[in-house]
Amino acid sequence: MNILMIISVSFVLLFSVIIVIVSKYWLRGRFAAIWSALLWFPYCVLFVYICTRLFPITNQGDVPPPGTGFIVMGGLILYPFYIMILSMLSIAFFKTKKSIGQNTVA
């Protein structure tokens, strides 16, 4: 197996856990975390627009292969679900810790 693939998958998993922990402490279980799953779209459109204006394809050798578009579209479709899952995990972990703390105190 390619070592680069192992490293990249481990980084994605590591940073996913870090994102859940950080959003758990910053947002404290509020449903404002779900807005990040909805607000990614304007940032994505703006980022793509700026990148196409700053780095236009001027050489035909820079054109990506035909299958690359499907990979990019799949990533763009799955990304908000990834953010939503991480947001729900942070909310669920905070609510569980909060309810456990309330049951032991009461």
Whole-angstrom Cα distance, residue 66 to residue 8? 24
For the stretch 46-79, pLDDT in tens is 888 998 899 888 888 888 888 988 998 888 888 8
Q: Residue 67: which H helix or E strand, with range?
A: none
Please state the pTM of the whole predicted model. 0.64
For the stretch 77-96, pLDDT in tens is 888 888 888 888 888 876 66
Q: Is 78 within 8 Å of 40 (Cβ atoms)?
A: no
DSSP 9-44: HHHHHHHHHHHHHHHHHHHTT-GGGGHHHHTHHHHH
